[in-house]
């Protein structure tokens, strides 16, 4: 079986090192960057809006990443591409394109937080517009499926990609989403997706069952498990991805309030070691 090599570069989802990933202070942001570099990651991704809460701008982050030897290959995320207000959708993409260009990012993630989709013809048309705008900015676009949204599973994401037929489109596979998607993991479909469409893999784990006292949105943002500590079959899912010939960006994203409480200097190497363990 071919699986991911432990020599692969790993990109830290920086917000996961904070108990509240939506509001990082300057000290939290900078200490997380330092911990990521010290642990041995090669890059990070950070939501652009948290720079404001930390009191810094894009230029500061560019300089800091250069000092620490870190890249920023993935820009997260386009949320408004399904907005019927085309000017608003275009404005978001223009902003993200400028951010990605400053950061040297090559991949733009596209998601929706809406619980349902417009008619699929409209979805496909708007996704095609997103991909065309991203291509003008030199970006590829990976759709991320989220189990509680209108794009809840791999099948829906793949349908959008197939119908839009854009050269710069792809899929992000988040292994927590993979396990929690309606109907559970879908290895047969994953095997059908061409390697060049599997460009980003987020590594995290999930309990076998959703806790009785927790809804799915709470679990995903605060109670994920380290890779290898839960029920995800990493040998299967990573074996399919790497066996296809895909060479994705490997991107740990372990939202865990309990792990983050220990601080980034403790959590960052924990996540790296756990990620390496399932990639071998």
Q: What is the pLDDT averaged over residues 247-251?
A: 96
Q: Using 50, 70 and 90 to split pLDDT, how confident is the model at 3?
A: low
Q: How far apart are CA 106 and CA 142, in angstroms?
A: 11
Q: Which of 191, 102, 182, 96 is nearest to 145 (CA)?
A: 182
Q: How far apart are CA 255 and CA 219, in angstroms?
A: 9
Supply the pLDDT for residue 9. Answer: 86
* Residue pLDDT, tens place only, 66-103: 999 999 999 999 999 999 999 999 999 999 999 999 99
Q: Within 10 Å of residue 255's Cβ, how many Cβ atoms? A: 20
Q: Within 10 Å of residue 81's Cβ, how many Cβ atoms? A: 24
Q: Using 50, 70 and 90 to split pLDDT, how confident is the model at 280?
A: confident
Q: What is the pLDDT averaged over residues 143-164?
A: 98
What's the chain's average pLDDT? 96
244 has pLDDT over 90: yes
Enclosing H/E stretch for 84? none
∠ CA 126-127-129, nearest 5°, is 65
Q: What is the pLDDT averaged over residues 166-187?
A: 98
Supply the pLDDT for residue 4. Answer: 58
Cβ contact 238:203 at 8 Å: no
Residues, the chain: 280
Q: How far apart are CA 143 and CA 188, in angstroms?
A: 19
Is 0.85 topped by the overall pTM? yes
Q: What is the pLDDT averaged over residues 119-132?
A: 98
Which structural domains are found in the chain, ordered by start?
A: 11-279 (3.20.20.150)
């Amino acid at each position: 079986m071919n699986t991911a090599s432990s020599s692969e570069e790993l990109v830290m989802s920086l917000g996961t090192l904070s108990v509240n990933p939506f509001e990082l202070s300057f000290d939290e942001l900078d200490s997380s960057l330092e911990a990521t570099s010290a642990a041995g990651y090669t890059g990070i991704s950070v939501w652009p809006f948290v720079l404001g809460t930390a009191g810094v701008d894009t230029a500061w982050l560019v300089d800091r990443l250069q000092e620490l030897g870190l890249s920023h290959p993935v820009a997260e995320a386009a949320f408004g591409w399904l907005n019927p207000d085309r000017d608003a959708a275009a404005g978001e993409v223009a902003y993200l394109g400028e951010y990605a260009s400053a950061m040297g990012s090559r991949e733009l993630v596209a998601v929706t937080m809406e619980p349902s989709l417009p008619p699929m013809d409209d979805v496909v048309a708007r996704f095609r517009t997103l991909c065309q705008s991203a291509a003008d900015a030199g970006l590829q676009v990976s759709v991320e499926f989220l189990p509680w949204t209108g794009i809840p599973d791999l099948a829906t994401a793949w349908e959008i990609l197939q119908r839009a037929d854009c050269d710069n489109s792809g899929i992000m596979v988040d292994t927590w989403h993979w396990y929690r998607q309606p109907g559970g993991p879908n290895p047969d479909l994953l095997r059908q997706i061409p390697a060049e469409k599997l460009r980003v893999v987020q590594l995290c784990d999930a309990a076998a069952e959703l806790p009785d006292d927790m809804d799915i949105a709470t679990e995903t943002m605060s109670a994920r498990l380290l890779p290898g500590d839960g029920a995800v079959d990493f040998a299967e899912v990573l074996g399919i991805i790497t066996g296809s010939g895909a060479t994705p960006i490997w991107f740990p994203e372990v939202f865990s309030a309990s792990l983050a409480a220990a601080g980034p200097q403790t959590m960052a190497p924990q996540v790296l070691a756990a990620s390496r363990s399932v990639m071998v």
